[in-house]
């Protein structure tokens, strides 16, 4: 179990490194690598729906890099995530990786930062709950950090908008 958590730590480190990159393509490449590591992590923990959603997340990120029209891929990946969830259904909690990944996909199709942050809150919340079910302690910590960070960013953004409007 300890070694499986170490694999999750590697995934966490890769995610952290992605935040220091400037170009979207580079960020997505780091996240592809991180998704691979987390897929192995979840698979070894027995979380098949999480593992296979991470694999589909890799394909999704490659598609986001290659495809100019981001909104056209939305219905395709909704279908793929739904099929993966049906195939590897482990209980109600196995719906969470699909919801997290769909939230991420939706947020990536819009250029609005507020939509991006709100989607990130949904995504992190789903992954935290799933990680509790499959005993991925590293994912609980990782997603909690992301949840707190994105919440702070969203609050700051809302407060700046209030100041601009004089509210």
Task: Tell me the H-state helices in 19-166.
Answer: 24-45, 48-66, 70-87, 95-108, 113-134, 137-165
* Rounded CA separation 119/108 (Å): 9
Q: What is the pLDDT of residues 12-63, one digit of tens each?
A: 999 889 888 888 788 889 989 999 999 999 999 999 999 999 999 899 888 8
The domain segmentation of the chain, as residue ranges, is 2-165
pLDDT digits (tens, 9 = 90+) for 131-155: 999 999 999 999 999 899 989 988 9
User: What is the Cα Rg of the chain in Å?
Assistant: 16
User: pLDDT for 100-111, tens place per residue?
Assistant: 988 888 877 776
Pick from 58, 60, 66: nearest CA to 30: 58
């Amino acid at each position: 179990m300890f070694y499986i958590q170490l694999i999750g730590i590697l995934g966490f480190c890769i995610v952290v490194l992605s935040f220091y990159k400037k170009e979207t393509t580079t960020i997505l490449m780091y996240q592809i690598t991180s998704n691979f590591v987390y897929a192995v992590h979840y698979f070894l923990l027995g979380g098949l729906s999480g593992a296979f959603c991470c694999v589909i997340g890799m394909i999704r990120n490659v598609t986001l890099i290659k495809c100019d029209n981001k909104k056209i891929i939305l219905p395709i990946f909704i279908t793929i995530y739904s099929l993966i969830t049906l195939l590897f259904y482990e209980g109600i909690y196995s719906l969470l990786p699909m919801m997290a990944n769909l939230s991420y996909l939706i947020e990536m199709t819009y250029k609005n930062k507020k939509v991006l942050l709100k989607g990130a809150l949904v995504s992190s919340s789903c992954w935290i709950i799933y990680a509790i079910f499959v005993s991925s302690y590293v994912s609980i910590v990782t997603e909690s950090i992301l949840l707190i960070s994105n919440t702070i960013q969203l609050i700051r953004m809302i407060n700046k908008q209030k100041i601009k409007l004089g509210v």
